[in-house]
Each structure stands twice: as structure tokens, then as C-alpha cells.
Amino acid sequence: MIWLYGTGDWPDLNVTRLCPETLFPVCSPHLMRTTERIETVQDLAAYTLIHDRDRQGGWAHWLQAVGADMDGFDLDHGPVLSQTSLAIDAAVAGQGIALARSALVGLDLEAGRLIRPVPDELPAEFAYWIVCPKQDASRPKVRLFLKWLLDQPL
């Protein structure tokens, strides 16, 4: 049994979603203390948006999906970082607002290193999955382990 990150479309494997994920903006609480207050998604346009990998996907897709007026956003600015974890680190450091997956920022939110400036979120396209060969899925120890794993708090 292993875990994979993706759509869950592995026809030769037995797949069980480990946890759902959502996408939402995060930033340092210090950023909110030193600049204008954010009350709506549209207010994010006044801030530096931290991009993950490119400027074409993440923020553009998320903003359109939540109904933001794209004319107010300049997606040609803000740093582009090669990994989501680097974008999250930049947000913790107060460099702007990152678009983050819930599984990656849970501990930072709990510890107060990050906050969610707006409540809007979208389901993530990908998730974490526990997978095993189909013939092993009915084995008692596999079923017992999977049940234990799914019963753990997130």
C-alpha cells in the first residue's frame, strides 16, 4: 500500500481518497496588520499575489471560478516560485498572498503563521490517495490498516 497524489484515475489499482483538499488564499497575519483590510476576493487585487510555477493557471483559474472581476487583477506581477511549498514559505514571510492547498497549510494555519484573508475556496483538482493492487484490497490486514488510517484526525 502506498499513497499517490493525483486524480485517482488508476484503473489497475484499488484507490481510496485519503482526504479531500481545497484551494484558498493564505497570507501572514502581519501582512494584514500593515496594509488595507481584505473583506472580499476583489480586495486581493491590491496585494502581491505569489504564483506557483506559472502565471497561467493557479490564480487566474481560482479567481475566475470564484467570480472575481479579472480586470482588477494584474497577474503579470508577483513572484513565480517553482514549488507550492516555496509559495507558502513566501506567504509566511509576508511577501504576499499565496494560493494554497489545505493539506499543505493546515499546521501553519493552526500555529497562526498563516491566515485565510477570505473564506472563499474551491475543491482541488488533485488529492492524496491510498492505493494498492486490486487483488490485495480485500486482505484483512490491508482493510484494517486502511480503516485505521482513515479514522485518524486531519
Contact yes or no for 72/45 (Cβ under 8 A): yes
Radius of gyration from C-alpha coordinates of the chain = 18
Q: Is the pLDDT of residue 129 over 80?
A: yes
Dist. CA 17–CA 112, nearest whole Å: 28
Tell me, letter by letter, the H, E, C secondary structure of the chain.
CEEEEECCCCCCEEEEEEECCEEEEEECHHHHHHCCCCCCHHHHHHCCEEEECCCCCHHHHHHHHCCCCHHHCCCCCCCEECCHHHHHHHHHCCCCEEEEEHHHHHHHHHHCCCECCCCCCEECCCEEEEEEEHHHCCCHHHHHHHHHHHHCCC
Long-range contacts, 59-66 (Cβ 8 Å, 24+): 59/99, 62/23, 62/99, 62/122, 65/122, 66/41, 66/120, 66/122
Q: List domains and CATH numbers for the chain.
A: 2-19+127-151 (no CATH), 22-123 (3.40.190.10)
Over residues 62-85, the mean pLDDT reads 91
Q: Is the pLDDT of residue 120 over 90?
A: yes
Q: Is the pLDDT of residue 35 over 70?
A: no
Dist. CA 100–CA 21, nearest whole Å: 10
Q: What's the pLDDT at 41?
A: 94
pTM listed for this prediction: 0.81
pLDDT band (50, 70, 90) for residue 119: very high
Over residues 105-119, the mean pLDDT reads 95
Dist. CA 45–CA 82, nearest whole Å: 22
